[in-house]
Structure 1
Amino acid sequence: MSQQPLEHFIQQAETQLDQVVDSGTDDELFIASYLHGHFSLIASQALNSEKADVATLDALLTNNLNDAFAQNELEPEDQKKVMTLWQSLLDA
């Protein structure tokens, strides 16, 4: 997981998600767009918290996604793709 400052991580993740628009397949675009929506909401909440860091953002976003998945927002295959994309952003 990234040890960089939260603001820098968010900016880098946003850039990577935006790049999918230029080079991704339709499926990749769908997955990135879905994650981007959840990420934007949670990132704004984390930035408003004094003690938030990348680990906090990860926990909040993972919980948010799991809640959405529990409501059957995505098929299991797409859920895995979203979580894989999120993990790749954390590892970048």
Structure 2
Amino acid sequence: MLVHRWKNPLVLGDSRIRIVVGSPEEAINWLIHEPDQSTAKWRRAWKACRAVIEGRLNAEDARSAVQPPPHAKSLLNLLQHRS
């Protein structure tokens, strides 16, 4: 059950695909499928989402840690290259 919701969900995508991430719990599911889990950005996002789930951080504070930069290789890029 999702107990934390962001006021404004993250919307990732382009003209072919759209991924909406609306909570730290959903972000955890998204992050687990990222190909490069050794980056500092990935670890920061993972720790922020875990902190929200464990009650140590406000959900809105974790949102910026999850927002990927526009040029980042991510699940979105993998999905685009498979089609």
> Which category of TM-score, normalised to the shorter sequence, fits these structures?
0.3 to 0.5
Greater fraction helix:
1
**As a proportion of its length, which structure holds more strand?**
2
TM-score (norm 1): 0.36
Q: TM-score, normalised by structure 2?
A: 0.38
Q: Which has the higher contact order (CA 8 A, sep 6+)?
A: 1
